[in-house]
Chain A
């Protein structure tokens, strides 16, 4: 009796309708994820606060007006700390965030709902990108106000674009972490990835000032390649070709997405 009225509603909706609805769902997920992240002070204050604090210490306080590769140190380091900010937002926002949602069963509830699964991933990554952009803006403001940095509109635009696109490899790394790491150790492991990747990638202290051994490790890290692209924004001569850095970042992103996919599928099979 009830089955008579059980016609599948989506059969009648047109595909444009469906695309429009999917887009609305994705936008709502992004909006509320961003709101949630900003309200979660423990996350928002540390994700934004760490790069700002480090930049103040190393880029502003210890700055003696020197040049690096023809660029003022305070300006040069903006690039490194921008990458540091993107990395933190992705590792803690995407990596730890998704790991906790999995642990709490929240992701499962989302998956049982009609939400397109990609909307969830996109919202986490978009939030990490938004944080990167906020961090770049605040860092640039600090540099201009206290570091005698002159930043052209084009330089700022290039930095913002790089921070946005540059977040993607780190978000992919975050997903790998979320699917592989046991949730209760996610926070600790995040720091084990975040801090060494920043130091050995030359984000805190420019790579040329680091010991020779570190300079050998650096090219294996995406942080190094993204930082070189950032420095190139300011007209510094990058270590190695631009295309080489881009290929490296692309390769790292593909590798991470591949591992994340395998880890996710394995989880599915045993769920």
Chain B
């Protein structure tokens, strides 16, 4: 395992399909959406751009689609300017759309987008690929949330593109619809497409991608395979000091580490002095304690706080790892 803790330099090998090189994007209202972000997407991979809301994921997609220009840095798709029409013919995109024209039928929406490409996928194939069989004559406005997302997914695939951008494709979907979407995204990789997926669910990035790039506040936090990123996250959960790389590997592999959640009157200062405790946080009025000696920690906590309640002890979960990674910056 070789976690990459610093942003890797942009890959210069020939199979880079899309890249952001040292891109900074500052909006006019002075919001810094991307801060010196470098990212490259290689042919045939599914790369997840993972980060909390407002991390700059959508901005990255908009820059890659040529919908927005970087304040500084360089954006390239197929080695060229993302705004070129020729690039758009080979790229499909699913953006977070609040409302598509509701009084057009599924079939009509698909026909319009197929018409944009010289060699589109056949309607039949498209409807099958996204699982919309039998719904072709429904008006868009009559569809469920999951079905609407699938129509938008079909529009992204209409031109049989080499490169697909999916901006939060499963946001607002129930579990079943989300799993369905996952199956379809995996299908893309099987057909040799290159996919950039943005999500704020680590679970989703883990389930789908070859590589994950974690961003927060417009900066790249880390990049690697899902296993590497999870390991990095776990180690961050266990160390209160992110700048202590020596402890990272040791604590990451420490099997006794547990996350203790409870409601207690003990202060963070008190808790940090207990045996094994490396990190203390408060989430929704509950105290979250990371300890490598959970039994000893708990014994002491229970002895000191008779009122302690709502106790819950768990192994560090993926979401904790992800939270730890993104909350450091």
Q: Which of B92-100, B209-217, B269-277, B321-329 contacts A (4 or more CB under 8 A)?
A: B92-100
Pair B115/A25 contact, Cβ less than 8 Å: yes
Whether, in the assembled complex, B138 has its beta carbon less than 8 Å from a beta carbon of chain A, the answer is no
Complex: how many Å from CA A114 to CA B83?
A: 10
Known pairs A13-B118, A111-B67; A36 contacts B101 (CB<8 A): yes
Q: How many angstroms from the CA of A100 to the CA of B103 in the assembled complex?
A: 14
Among B59-112, those with CB < 8 Å from A are: 62, 65-68, 78, 85-86, 88-91, 93, 95-101, 103-104, 108, 111-112
Say yes or no: A104 contacts B98, CB within 8 Å: yes
- Tell me if A103 and B44 are in contact (CB < 8 A): no
Interface-forming stretch among A3-11, A57-65, A128-136, A236-244? A3-11
**C-alpha gap A265/B97 in the complex (Å):** 22
Provide the residues of chain B in CB contact with A3, threshold 8 Å: 14-15, 43
Q: Which chain A residues border B112 with CB–CB below 8 Å?
A: 28-29, 32
Q: Which B residues are in CB contact (< 8 Å) with A148?
A: none
Whether, in the assembled complex, A217 has its beta carbon less than 8 Å from a beta carbon of chain B, the answer is no
Q: Which of A60-108 contact B (CB under 8 A)?
A: 100, 103-106, 108
CB contact under 8 A between A112 and B93, given known A9-B118, A36-B101, A106-B99? yes
In the complex the two chains form, is A2's CB within 8 Å of B111's CB? no
Q: Which residues of B contact A28 (CB under 8 A)?
A: 111-112, 115
Q: Using a CB-CB cutoff of 8 Å, which residues 1-33 of chain A contact chain B? A: 1-3, 6, 8-11, 13, 21, 24-25, 28-29, 32
Complex: A13 Cα to B28 Cα, angstroms: 40
From residue 36 to 57 of chain A, which have CB atoms closer than 8 A to chain B?
Answer: 36, 39-40
What is the distance, in angstroms, from B44's C-beta to the closest C-beta of chain A? Answer: 6
Task: Name the residue of chain A whose CB is nearest to the CB of B108.
Answer: A32
A40 and B100 contact, CB distance less than 8 A: no
Instruction: Indicate whether A112 sits within 8 Å of B108 (C-beta atoms), given known contacts A21-B118, A106-B101.
Output: no
User: Are the CB atoms of A104 and B99 closer together than 8 Å?
Assistant: yes
Distance in angstroms between the alpha carbons of A36 and B109 in the assembled complex = 11
Q: Give min CB distance, B108 to chain A, whole Å.
A: 6
Shortest CB-to-CB span from B27 to chain A, Å, is 6
Contacting residues, chain B, for A25 (C-beta < 8 A):
115-116
Residues of the A chain whose Cβ atoms lie less than 8 Å from the Cβ of B78:
6, 8
A33 closest partner in B (C-beta): B101
Main secondary structure of the interface of A (DSSP, over half): helix
Contact B86 A9 (CB under 8 A): yes
Check if B119 is an interface residue, CB within 8 A of chain A: yes
Instruction: Determine the residue in chain A with the shortest Cβ distance to B27.
Output: A270
A35 at the interface (CB under 8 A from B): yes
Is B201's beta carbon under 8 Å from chain A? no
Neighbour of B15 across the interface among A1, A39, A271, CB < 8 A: A1
B residues near A185, Cβ cutoff 8 Å? none
Confirm or deny: B155 has a beta carbon within 8 angstroms of a beta carbon on chain A: yes
* Residues from chain A with Cβ under 8 Å of B65 in the complex: 112
B113 within 8 Å of A (CB atoms)? yes
Q: Pick the contact of A10: B62, B85, B152, B162 (CB < 8 A).
A: B85
Q: Taking the complex as formed, is A151 at the interface, i.e. its CB lies under 8 A from any CB of chain B? A: no
Q: How many Å lie between the Cα of A10 and that of B86 in the bound state?
A: 6
Decide if A105 touches B98 in the complex (CB within 8 Å): yes
Within 8 A of B (CB), among A229-248: none
Chain B contacts for A11, CB-based, 8 A: 86
A229 CA to B117 CA, complexed, in Å: 43
Instruction: Give A2 to B42 CA distance when docked, in angstroms.
Output: 10
**A105 near B96: Cβ-Cβ < 8 Å:** yes
Query: Which residues in B have their C-beta under 8 angstroms from that of A103?
Result: 98
Residues in B117-132 with C-beta less than 8 Å from chain A: 117-119
Q: Looking at the assembled complex, report how far the CB atom of A215 sits from the nearest CB atom of chain B, in whole angstroms.
A: 42
- Residue B159 interfacial (CB < 8 Å): yes
Of all chain B residues, the one with the shortest Cβ separation from A12 is: B118
B159-A108 in contact (CB<8A): no
A157 beta carbon closer than 8 Å to chain B:
no
| Minimum CB–CB distance for A159 against chain B, Å | 29
Give the CA-CA distance A11 to B118 in the complex, in Å: 12
Name the residue among A2, A9, A13 with the largest chain B CB count within 10 angstroms.
Answer: A2
**Bound CA–CA A29/B113 (angstroms):** 10
A9 touches B89 (CB 8 A): yes
Question: B79: nearest residue on chain A (CB-CB)?
Answer: A3
Q: Any chain B CB within 8 A of the CB of A109?
A: yes
Q: Is A114 in contact with B88, judged by CB distance below 8 angstroms?
A: yes
Q: List 5 A-B contacts (CB under 8 A).
A: A39-B103, A39-B139, A40-B103, A112-B88, A271-B67
Apart from A9-B119, A29-B112, A112-B91, what are 15 other A-B pairs with CB-CB below 8 Å?
Answer: A2-B17, A3-B14, A3-B43, A9-B86, A9-B89, A25-B116, A28-B112, A103-B98, A109-B97, A109-B100, A109-B155, A111-B67, A113-B113, A114-B116, A270-B29
Binding site for A on B (CB under 8 A): 14-15, 17, 27-29, 43-44, 62, 65-68, 78, 85-86, 88-91, 93, 95-101, 103-104, 108, 111-113, 115-119, 139, 152, 155, 159, 162, 192, 194
Which residues in A have some Cβ–Cβ distance to B below 8 Å? 1-3, 6, 8-11, 13, 21, 24-25, 28-29, 32, 35-36, 39-40, 100, 103-106, 108-109, 111-115, 269-271
Closest 10 CB pairs of A and B: A2-B43, A104-B99, A39-B103, A104-B98, A270-B28, A114-B88, A8-B86, A114-B116, A112-B65, A112-B93
